[in-house]
Amino acid sequence: MTIKVLITEDHELYRDGIRLLLEEVIPGVQVFEAGDLPATRARLASEPDISLILFDIHIPGTRGLDGLEEIKAVHPGIPLVVVSTVDHQASIQQMLGVGADGFIAKTSSKATMIRAIKDILEGELVIVGGQNPASPISLTPRQLATLELLAQGLPNKGIADQLNISPTTVREYVSGILAMFDCDNRTQAVLKARQLGFILD
């Protein structure tokens, strides 16, 4: 099956760089490009089987997070990862809150970007921020319980069953944990949590 990726970005040079990166990481990838929100809508309408959207929130035709909200409302089944210079933890949480499936800072290195794209394609929720959290990490009891189950290797559905909550709620908890620990996947979050003493084996 051919993987189709839509790059929504208004800077041609950056689009070219991402396209070359995708072609390096994903053999046979089919890359589409859009420089503004109307072009994004049109491309998604003509290519309904897009596998992944790499989305800059600051493209012509958008204001704040309304473009992100619109695309996810119309195409909820397509994974959408924000690629942006807006990488404050609070801003990333807002993006995840309105439907983003991950975040990659534009300041990320090539190696980090490649690793993140591979994780995304394997179904991981990836958060690669360029800034450190401004405050100490503080977990709620439910987030801590989620973290401990992550350390046991349980998937979201397994965690939901253990805690008697919905998979959607688990996903929100995992998103929060990744952001707070400034990690781009659950494995790294568990390792960092162990180092900081949140998980005692």
pLDDT in tens, 132-163: 544 456 677 788 889 989 999 999 999 999 99
| 149 shares a domain with 122 | no
Polymer length of the chain: 201
Give CA separation, 110 vs 21, 24, 87, 113, 127, in Å.
Answer: 8, 11, 17, 5, 15
Q: What is the pTM of this model?
A: 0.66
Residue 164: give its domain's CATH number.
Answer: 1.10.10.10
In a domain, 43, yes or no: yes
Residue 9: give its domain's CATH number.
Answer: 3.40.50.2300
In a domain, 94, yes or no: yes
In a domain, 34, yes or no: yes
Q: How many domains does the chain have?
A: 2
pLDDT in tens, 26-77: 999 999 999 999 999 999 999 989 999 999 998 999 988 899 999 999 999 9
pLDDT in tens, 82-136: 998 876 665 777 788 888 988 898 888 888 888 888 888 888 878 887 665 444 5
In a domain, 106, yes or no: yes
Q: In terms of DSSP H, where are the helices of 57-185? A: 66-74, 89-97, 110-121, 141-151, 156-163, 167-181
Question: To 5 degrees, how large is the angle CA 167–CA 173–CA 177?
Answer: 140
Q: How far apart are CA 134 and CA 136, in angstroms?
A: 7
Range(s) of the domain holding residue 189:
141-196
